[in-house]
Structure 1
């Protein structure tokens, strides 16, 4: 028997109350670059979700976890250390399940480890305030853990997007149920395994449930014993979660869609700006909410930018993320690739000009490759300028004045991120303040890290993740008053 036949594929189980549990069925995890089965995972249902919620509720109500910041800090630090020891294997598994180039996967694992350590420090710094509001009258305000947190994690950056929700939730003393996307469930289970195995973690503080449909997610969103829902994903699903959670008035942390604009001013150095914007557009094959999607260019530089962006995009090396030198992997799966391709194809018929016409690329059966596309269009109200297309499409739009650029960029239902490209610092800061976005980069794009909050205006979501303010999404504010008498 060959080594390949003898090798047993990994299988991920639910983890509830400190116990690993098999489901009634299992599903396959498929490599989107090869179509090969990477492993399998248990598939749960409403009963599994209710058991996980009950375990998290019990842990919050009956253990010292919510009151013990020093234990929380050490649990998080040991988790980070365990991930660092296993980072090479985890990065390979991330690429195998998600498709992104291995260098990007390694960078994501490193960022996730850094973020755990950041919140480990903050676990011992969640201060309130005290005031004497009148003679002998003491007013104290405390931030307390909100309770049980449901975390619904997407597939596009499954390490960082897991940690940026779970780490602050644990840091403040919440207990949690994590439900990863099915495409990357195998990776999430491996990433969380050393945390769940920590002897100092009370059973039920961290639970993992897996599914291929929506029954578990719906239960996590509507259950009376869940106090917080944290979700990263599409605007449509975010709206459904808001509606479903209304009956129980849960706290919501939602990072939703985006349509990030890059505003390139007349004085920008096109030859250096274009490759950076191309890279920002093709990150995770365009499957990132902050990816560059619209490029607003001063009309006098439009021709130059078309040529430079087209060259940068067409030069992107596409392939299996585990192969050396690959800059862009497949989309997450064939069904998503086909849906995105239909959306991009419609832009070819509507745009003023198709500068670079991408295509679905041949590959192994079950793979999901596509090459980048670039179109130019003058009307920002076109559907492909307004709607989030979660794939490798970039739209070029001309403007004449700074005011017009701001008006075009702000003409959107989203408000997640944007960037300004200019050598004039006064112009850059003036525009950064005028843009209605949660993050604005100057002469850069997609710079995300633990210390700086991420989130959006308008339909891009509620709350903030990363940074100190992420703690606020998982806490409640309590005021305690006592009159002790004046001296």
Structure 2
């Protein structure tokens, strides 16, 4: 299998190729065209030309039909895409199938919004009208991560197109084959204007840096680490472009004493090991009321121990490998440091034995600790490490959870409805789930407080990240 760049309506390459491997088995999957600044420049220029044509930027019916046709094309190859996603990313096939289905649903959702992005009109004085018109912002640069490359592609591209922007997409090299396959049905549509949507891949960063710094790129959407997001803000400052950034997270699960610990422990284990712990909203810290702390230690240790590791295509697999061996080694080192200095090691995790050892696998690790200022309570370690902490009352639970530079998501586990809402309201997070975790929908905005980012994706508000509000004034007088 191979994929090339798609720029100005044409598949292209410059003769440079990079291999893509299955992180579970080391098997060669295929290769992708490896570009850089030249491809980024060509793609941005094509997108700028396409945006200048009002037949695209001012034609919501065309854009809606393109989104619907893209969704139909993806639906026809759903299983094929899920299998490729599992092979290139490593996640369990059930997760891949769910992600593809969610991505298709989100495209359809934004197809509807393409024809409903209204402004408003005010009569500010007799015969004087102020019209607020919501316009597409221009060229959108989209830097897509590897951990959920279907949904995270769609949740940026679909609202960008619905709003009327043109787009340049730079996928992560770890999932470049998959993202090209996801976009192929869109690129094949004869009604897609040349340059409206462009794709280039690279193993380096110069193309992405060009998107960030170019004055021709009006919006930059990025999902990834807070450190990279901060560099993007610095490098984009000269152009004052709009930024949509979903960055790091350190999700806390607050478990109160009235819960059924045995029943929720498997749910917490699943929340911590989704995509092998490589999801920004994955459970990272579990805060448990002191009266149930010992019970939770036993139950959560058992639940995490029962997580079945394996190749994502195997029916029994619940957790696949990390994205690649470099990431596995980095996460393994940080977990080892946490094990050395925590109060109590409940599960050491580590590399599995046998056939899985050649893949980028790590078993889940579980530790208990009192000091919420420890590096492993504050730092986003992007892998299967979970930290248990005890609290005495609601006030301490909220104080501990809010002791973080992040504010992406959290969950509250209690049978008392008033307490659930009281605590959720006090948490400084963009999303709070009640008696659940990792429930994300096309209709519900997602984003974070503090160093978890800027803007919102999913939902109606995602259109705001790709739009500008224009005020048009006219005095028409009054009769007589």
| TM value normalised by structure 2 | 0.99
Give the distance between the partners of 1:26 and 1:147, measured in 2 at CA.
31
Q: Shift of the alpha carbon at 1:242? A: 0.5
For 1:376 and 1:165, locate their aligned partners in 2 and report how far apart those are by CA, in whole Å.
Answer: 37
Selected match of 1:67 from 20, 39, 58: 58
Report the CA distance between 1:24 and its aligned residue: 3.5
Q: Which residue of 1 aligns with 2:3?
A: 12
1:372 is the counterpart of 2:364: yes
Contact kept, 8 Å, 1:151 with 1:177, in 2: the verdict is yes
Q: Is residue 291 from structure 1 mapped to residue 282 from structure 2 by the alignment?
A: yes
Give the structure 2 partner of residue 440 of structure 1. 432
Residue 342 of structure 2 corresponds to 351
Q: Residue 445 of structure 2 aligns with which residue?
A: 453
Show structure 1 runs of 4+ deviating over 2 A. Answer: 361-366
Mapped pair 1:485 → 2:474: no
- Larger deviation, residues 58-67 vs 103-112: 58-67
Q: Say if 1:310 and 1:356, in contact at 8 Å, map to a contact too.
A: yes
Residue 397 of structure 2 is aligned to residue 397 of structure 1: no
Question: Matches of residues 26-175 of structure 1 in structure 2 within 5 Å?
Answer: 26-175=17-166
**Among 253, 272, 278, which residue is 1:281 paired with?**
272
1:419 aligns with 2:434: no
Alignment match, 2:309:
318
Partner residue in 2 for 1:308: 299
Structure 1's 478 and 63: CA in aligned 2 closer, same or farther, altered over 3 A? closer
State whether residues 33 and 367 of structure 1, in contact with CA within 8 Å, keep that contact through their aligned partners in structure 2: yes
Match of 1:25 among 4, 10, 16: 16
Query: 1:200 maps to what in 2?
Result: 191
Q: Are residue 465 (structure 1) and residue 457 (structure 2) matched?
A: yes
Aligned to 1:384: 376
Deviation readout 1:91-111 (Å, 9 max, x if unpaired): 000000000000110000000
- Which consecutive unaligned segments of at least 5 residues does structure 1 have? 1-9
CA-CA distance at 1:324 after TM superposition = 1.1
Distance 1:424 1:449 in 2: 25
Distance in 2 (alpha carbons) for counterparts of 1:481 and 1:441: 44
- Per-residue CA deviations over 1:61-117 (Å, capped at 9, x if unaligned) read 135111000010000000000000000100000000000000110000000000000
In structure 1, how many angstroms separate the alpha carbons of the residues matched to 2:476 and 2:135?
24
Residue matched to 1:4: none
CA distance in 2: counterparts of 1:77 and 1:96, whole angstroms? 27
How far apart in 2 are the matches of 1:440 and 1:282? Answer: 19
Partners of 2:356 and 2:453 lie apart in 1 by: 37
Match of 1:331 among 319, 322, 326: 322
Separation of aligned partners in 1, 2:260 and 2:48: 56
Match of 2:178, SS state, is: helix
Q: Indicate the residue corresponding to 1:5 in structure 2.
A: none
Aligned 8 A contact 2:86 2:312 in 1: yes
Taking the aligned partners of 2:356 and 2:309, their CA distance within structure 1 comes to: 14
Contact 1:319 1:329 in 2 (8 A): yes
Q: Secondary structure at the match of 1:325?
A: coil
Number of aligned positions between the proteins: 478
Distance 2:420 2:14 in 1: 54
Question: 1:365 Cα shift?
Answer: 7.6
RMSD of aligned Cα (Å): 0.8
**Is 2:17–2:32's contact at 8 Å kept on the other side of the alignment?**
yes
- Give the distance between the partners of 1:466 and 1:56, measured in 2 at CA: 23
